[in-house]
Amino acid sequence: MTTLTGAGVRFGSRWIFRNLDLHAPVGRSLAILGPNGRGKTTLLRSLLGFQPLTEGQRDAPSVIGYVPQYASHEVGYSVRQVVATGRVAQRGLFAQPTAGDMEAADDALARVGMVGFAENRFDWLSGGERQLVLLARAIATGATTLVLDEPASALDLRNQDRFLAVVDSLREDGDHAILFTTHLPQHAAAVADDALLLYGPEDRLLGPVEDTVTEDAIARLYGIPVRIVDCDLPGGARPARGVIPLFGQAGSQA
């Protein structure tokens, strides 16, 4: 559980955000949406504790499972070993992974559907696979809060689907507070319970996705009109929600 109270960050004379109250309880998933340069990354870094707050309070566990936007590390360890580093990290300087750590790593890999890759070299995986492995590593830390930085933005449609399905299953398990930034409102609609829309330093909208990921709110956020379309799926519990940006219509009231 991670909480920001009256939080604000200022760079020079410019407030990135201010008077922000944010509460991320275990069992819920929060999407953070905003145009480029509106402070998504700064907010994420504040949540992680990397960015000191200019004012306000941060209350967070000492261990958070952070998944970066890209897995840029070119390391030739096995996937299982990469995941095991998440287990060993907080256990002290001289800690070596035990057989138990390796089992826990396999469990975490199973949760993201990558258990068959445990013996593969990490640097030879595709971008989507690496992202899932890093998510498994974050899970393996045992952290109750997972923070994902635009986790699926760089992935193709199939891999977006895989990643979102994993996030959705984690949400249903209810063991984690999940926070993620995204450029794609549809991802928020698919796997978030709540959404935070960053309009400006003190202008924002926070609430359940049904109330926040709406045509009006998203159009106002990005400055281009959108249509929200629900597709009923045979046998599906709830319709699949599509958020369609109307490219070329920026500024119009379509």
Partner 1 sequence: MSDTAIHARGQSLPARGSGAVWLAAFGGLLIVAMLVSLGLGRLSIPLPTVAAIVGHLALPVPESWTVLEERVVLLVREPRVLLAALSGAGLAMCGAALQGIFRNPLVSPQILGISPGAAFGGALAILLGHAGVVLIGSSFVFGVAALVTVGLIARIDGRTETATIVLAGIIVGALFSALVSLLQFVADPDSSLPAIVGWLMGSFASATWPRLALAAPAILIGVIGLFFLRFRVNVLSLGDDEARSFGVSVERDRWIFFILVALTTGAVVSVAGVIGWVGLVVPHAARLLVGEDHRILVPASGLLGGAYLVTVDTISRTATAAEIPLSVLTAIIGAPVFAILLRHSWRKEHAR
151 binds partner 1 (CB under 8 A): no
Residues with Cβ within 8 Å of 116's Cβ and at least 6 positions away in sequence, in order, are none
Contact between 187 and 209 under an 8 Å Cβ cutoff? The reply is no
Contact between 37 and 201 under an 8 Å Cβ cutoff? The reply is no
**Least distance to partner 1 from the beta carbon of 59, Å?**
16
143 binds partner 1 (CB under 8 A): yes
Task: Tell me how long the chain is.
Answer: 254
Site for partner 1 in 80-109 (CB under 8 A): 81-82, 85-86, 88-90, 93-97
Candidate segments 115-123, 188-196, 204-212, 234-242, binder of partner 1 by CB under 8 A: 115-123
240 binds partner 1 (CB under 8 A): no
236 binds partner 1 (CB under 8 A): no
C-alpha distance from residue 106 to each of 47, 113, 124, 179, 201 (Å): 28, 10, 19, 24, 42
137 binds partner 1 (CB under 8 A): yes
77 binds partner 1 (CB under 8 A): yes
54 binds partner 1 (CB under 8 A): no
- Which amino acid, residue 230? D
List strands edge to edge, sheet with 14-24: 14-24, 2-11, 55-59
**Neighbouring-strand partners of residue 24:** 2
Residue 5 CB burial class (10 angstroms; 0-12, 13-18, ≥19): middle
Q: Which of 14, 36, 74, 232 binds partner 1 (CB under 8 A)?
A: 74
Choose between 77 and 199: whose C-beta lies nearer to partner 1.
77
Q: Tokens 């959404």: give the residue.
A: 195
14 binds partner 1 (CB under 8 A): no
Q: Which of 11, 35, 59, 73 binds partner 1 (CB under 8 A)?
A: 73
Interface residues toward partner 1, by CB under 8 A: 48-50, 62-68, 72-78, 81-82, 85-86, 88-90, 93-97, 113-114, 116-117, 119-121, 124-126, 128-129, 134, 137-138, 141, 143, 147, 162, 165-166, 169
